[in-house]
Structure 1
Amino acid sequence: RADLGNTVKGDGFKYRGRGLIQITGRANYAACGEALGLDLVNEPELLEQPQHAAMSAAWFWSSRGLNTLADQGDLLKITKRINGGTNGLADRQALYGKALKVLA
């Protein structure tokens, strides 16, 4: 998809979802790589390594301002910022409720 910065045939597959939060698209790989000091455009499989998978998720979370939304408990906005829609929202809400009971 062009909105993900995919410009060359095969980019969609090459820059498919990787990492704990599923970074997708050439543009996101480039931005994430720049932030982490990795050449993810030329070595996208680096996001399959546990340390880079975790760091990419932290980068995505931080770069999208998700901590503020999490502090507010706004799972709807978090879900939309992560995947553009509401897929998995009900599961996230149920897990969030359980986590609050355990952590509070």
Structure 2
Amino acid sequence: MPITQQQLLQILPNASQVAGVFVSALNTAMGKYQIITPLRMAAFLAQVGHESAQLTQLVENLNYGAPGLVATWPSRFTPALAAQVARQPEQIANIVYASRMGNGPAVTGDGWKYRGRGLIQVTGWTNYQACGAALAQDLLTAPELLEQPIYAALSAAWYWASNGLNTLADAGNLEAITKKINGGLNGQPDRLALYNTALKVLA
């Protein structure tokens, strides 16, 4: 059962500027990856809603100050390096994502090119390559495709299905889903609130 624009706005009220373009993109993506029951849809919409600030942020924000850099990536930033690159998102991305997830070293610029994009942020050369293969798009050459609503939604649904999250959604295990997406439980109260709202709206 596709979601309507009205339902989407009941779940994600801050998406009023973009709901019109996202409703068809989300329905296409959810249909393709079998996110079609109220439990699955509620869990998916709660997670993408949280990750994208209710569909309004499709690119990772790396505009960190020096203290934030040291706190977030203590193994990557000394206080001196953090002070040097603070508030310079491109340099930050190239340091943070250097030589990981299929990216080359910092000088290649891969960290910035393949920074997080989409509703569940696809990050790193390896993930862009796998996602591009699944969606039949050359994301390595055109990574900014993931900033378009249809590919932002399809990439999130692809990630969801690739990580077995429909099964966890069927079990109502939102905590395990968050750990698969986030690595921890950051923002869990917000995710849970969105999930409970979605369940009511989609019931």
Regarding TM over 0.5, the answer is: yes
Q: Which amino acid aligns with 2:104?
A: T
- TM-score, normalised to structure 2's length? 0.48
Partner of 1:18: 117
Q: Is 2:144 aligned against 1:45?
A: yes
Q: Secondary structure at the match of 2:172?
A: coil
SS of match in other structure, 1:4: coil
Of the three residues 72, 76, 84, the one matched with 2:171 is: 72
Cα distance, 1:70 vs. partner?
A: 0.9
Counterpart for residue 99 of structure 1: 198
Cα offset for 1:75? 1.1
Kindly name which structure, 1 or 2, has the bigger radius of gyration based on alpha carbons.
2
Describe how 1:4-15 pairs up with structure 2 within 5 A: 4-9=101-106, 10-15=109-114
The percent of aligned pairs where both chains have the same amino acid is 66
Which residue identity lines up with residue 37 of structure 1 in the other structure?
A
Please report how far the alpha carbon of residue 15 of structure 1 lies from its aligned counterpart in structure 2 after TM superposition: 0.6
**Higher RCO, 1 vs 2 (CA within 8 Å, ≥6 residues apart):** 2
Runs of 4+ in 1 over 4 A off after TM superposition: none
Which amino acid in structure 2 is aligned with residue 5 of structure 1? G
Q: Distance in 2 between matches of 1:101 and 1:49?
A: 29
Residue aligned with 1:19, SS = coil
- Between the aligned partners of 1:41 and 1:102, the Cα distance in structure 2 is 38
Per-residue deviation, 1:88: 1.3
The secondary structure found in structure 1 opposite 2:185 is coil
How far apart are the structure 1 equivalents of 2:135 and 2:189? 32
Structure 2 unaligned blocks of 5 or more: 1-96
Aligned residues: 104
Deviation, 1:99, is 2.2
Gap regions ≥5 residues in structure 1: none
For 1:37 and 1:66, the matched residues in 2 are separated by 22
Residue deviations 1:27-79 (CA, integer Å, cap 9, x gap): 11000001111111111011111111111111111111101111111111111
